[in-house]
């Protein structure tokens, strides 16, 4: 990073590079930076694991797994309050963790059309209908005229935004104490209810903090935005950029639905729910994207098409640089060989990160994430008994994901400044606003 970002308490997560440099500048050791806030006993245990000195204590032997993030992010500050499995009946605790893992896995399979298992089967050629391969401009045009249009890459609806400012878009969402999240699939938005949109399919958080003046102004603005939006055609690079970002809007809606299915998420403060989604949604999307990638290319259009890595590299600059970091991360991430349940729990842990800037009540977030991480640890012991260090390796990937999102946001920002025909849906603009 050449911007020398200002690192403060509220902005410290925006640029991991500048944060790292500042830590070094004030005299922190690399080890202190790597492990962050962590109880001394936990730090010694984790260091011993990473160095190969000892295996993780077995959960069923009565040892609490108080997990914290490795690298520059802290994911489980709530573990420091002494809560663990040790004081609870161990058999019941393990049973509860398995039940939590099952609920998260079921939500993952129900909400995301292209699960990891399906994607891997397509990539391995184990399905009847093979994906159409896009390897040059001609095959791209053919795919656009057939599969991509059928898969929802053409016309979509734009229903507002997610973020700090409350958009006055609504449609019969009932209120509760402090607000509620509901799914307004019953019909189109009518701009009469005060709410905050979490996704393209009318997912609302109702609130009462909008003035009548703001309501009128927002309603006027939404008359034009609540229309069918068709990504403009043009050069191949522009079309790919625009279609991918319109697909990301749908991915945001899917991640929002997944978050609402995580036990405990819906009882969090409404503003905290929005903050967690704002900062975590791209990290979750890139973690999921790895399942659709191999060294040769990636699946798009819900597995109906496969676009080659070489074709993406052949696009003109700067578009040729967008996906390469995602390929590099995905190849490393896929080497961990996670299954669908592992990935679902990991995605839930990403969403429930207690160190997101602007959180109002951190402790409830960290308590929920603590349970998710314990369930993930137990799941990994079951599915990867030969890999005792997989859990700390996964925690290290959290830092890589944040850096990947930071770089992506900067790249998109630069492209939008230099490429006049590129379009970024309002929802994604709102997510990036004041974040990176």
pLDDT tens for 245-287 read 988 999 999 999 999 999 999 999 999 999 999 999 999 999 9
Can you tell me which residue has the tokens 């806030």?
A: 37
Tell me: pLDDT of 89 over 50.
Answer: no
DSSP 356-403: -TT-S-HHHHHHHHHHHHHHHHHHHHHH-TT-TTHHHHHHHHHHHHHH
Among 78-92, 223-237, 313-327, 359-373, where is mean pLDDT lowest? 78-92
Q: Show the domains of the chain with their CATH numbers.
A: 16-99 (no CATH), 103-156+233-432 (1.10.565.10), 159-226 (no CATH)
Q: Confidence class of residue 389 from pLDDT cuts 50, 70 and 90? A: very high
Cα separations in angstroms, 166 against 175, 179, 218, 433: 15, 13, 9, 14
Q: Going by C-beta distance under 8 Å and a sequence separation of 6 or more, which residues neighbour residue 360?
A: 269, 271, 272
Contact 194, 171 (CB under 8 A): no
Among 93-102, 139-148, 215-224, where is mean pLDDT lowest? 215-224
Contact 186, 163 (CB under 8 A): no
Which secondary-structure segment (H or E) carries 277? helix 270-289
Which secondary-structure segment (H or E) carries 282? helix 270-289
What pLDDT sits at residue 147?
66
Tell me: pLDDT of 430 over 80.
Answer: yes
What pLDDT sits at residue 66?
38
Contact 268, 365 (CB under 8 A): yes
Among 142-146, 206-210, 230-234, where is mean pLDDT lowest? 206-210
Among 108-122, 324-338, 421-435, where is mean pLDDT lowest? 421-435
Furthest C-alpha separation in the chain = 64
Contact 268, 353 (CB under 8 A): no
Tell me: pLDDT of 227 over 70.
Answer: no
What pLDDT sits at residue 145?
76
Among 5-19, 26-40, 216-230, 314-328, where is mean pLDDT lowest? 216-230
Q: CA 255, CA 225: separation in Å to the nearest integer? A: 22
Q: Confidence class of residue 160 from pLDDT cuts 50, 70 and 90? A: very low
Contact 313, 320 (CB under 8 A): yes
Total-model pTM: 0.66
Q: Going by C-beta distance under 8 Å and a sequence separation of 6 or more, which residues neighbour residue 176?
A: 206
Which one has a higher pLDDT value, 7 or 428?
428
Tokens standing for 90?
Answer: 């161990």
Q: Confidence class of residue 143 from pLDDT cuts 50, 70 and 90? A: confident
- Alpha-carbon Rg for the chain in angstroms: 22
> What's the average model confidence in pLDDT over 84-100?
61
Q: Going by C-beta distance under 8 Å and a sequence separation of 6 or more, which residues neighbour residue 2?
A: none
């Amino acid at each position: 990073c050449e911007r020398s970002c200002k690192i403060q308490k509220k902005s410290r997560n925006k640029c991991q590079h500048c944060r790292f440099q500042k830590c070094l500048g004030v005299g922190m050791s690399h080890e202190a930076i790597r492990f962050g806030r962590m109880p001394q006993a936990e730090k010694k245990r984790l260091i011993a694991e990473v160095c190969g000195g000892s295996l993780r204590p077995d959960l069923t032997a009565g040892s609490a797994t108080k997990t914290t993030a490795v690298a520059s992010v802290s994911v489980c500050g709530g573990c420091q309050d002494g809560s663990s499995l040790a004081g609870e009946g161990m058999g019941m605790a393990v049973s509860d963790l398995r039940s939590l893992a099952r609920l998260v896995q079921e939500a993952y399979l129900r909400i995301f059309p292209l699960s990891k298992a399906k994607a891997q089967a397509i990539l391995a050629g184990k399905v009847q209908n093979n994906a159409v391969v896009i390897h040059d401009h001609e095959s791209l045009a053919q795919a656009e005229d057939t599969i991509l249009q059928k898969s929802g890459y053409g016309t979509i609806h734009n229903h507002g935004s997610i973020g700090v400012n409350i958009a006055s878009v609504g449609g019969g969402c009932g209120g509760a104490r402090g607000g509620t999240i509901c799914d307004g699939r019953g019909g189109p938005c009518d701009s009469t209810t005060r709410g905050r949109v979490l996704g393209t399919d009318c997912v609302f958080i109702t609130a009462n903090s909008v003035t009548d003046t703001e309501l009128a102004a927002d309603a006027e603005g939404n008359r034009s935005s609540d229309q069918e939006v068709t990504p403009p055609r043009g050069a191949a690079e522009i079309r790919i950029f625009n279609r991918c970002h319109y697909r990301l809007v749908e991915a945001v809606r899917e991640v929002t639905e997944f978050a609402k299915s995580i036990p405990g998420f819906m009882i969090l403060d409404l503003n905290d729910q929005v903050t967690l989604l704002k900062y975590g949604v791209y990290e979750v999307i890139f973690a999921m994207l790895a399942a659709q990638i191999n060294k040769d290319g990636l699946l798009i259009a819900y597995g109906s098409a496969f676009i080659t890595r070489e074709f993406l590299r052949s696009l003109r600059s700067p578009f040729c640089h967008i996906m390469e970091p995602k390929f590099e991360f995905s190849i490393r991430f896929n080497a961990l060989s996670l299954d669908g349940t592992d990935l679902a729990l990991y995605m839930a842990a990403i969403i429930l990160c207690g160190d997101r800037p602007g959180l109002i009540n951190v402790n409830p977030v960290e308590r929920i994430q603590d349970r998710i991480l314990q369930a993930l640890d137990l799941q990994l012991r079951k599915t990867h008994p030969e890999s005792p260090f997989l859990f700390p390796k996964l925690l290290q990937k959290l830092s890589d994901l944040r850096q990947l999102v930071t770089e992506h946001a900067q790249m998109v920002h630069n492209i939008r400044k230099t490429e006049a025909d590129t379009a970024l849906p309002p929802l994604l603009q709102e997510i990036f606003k004041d974040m990176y």
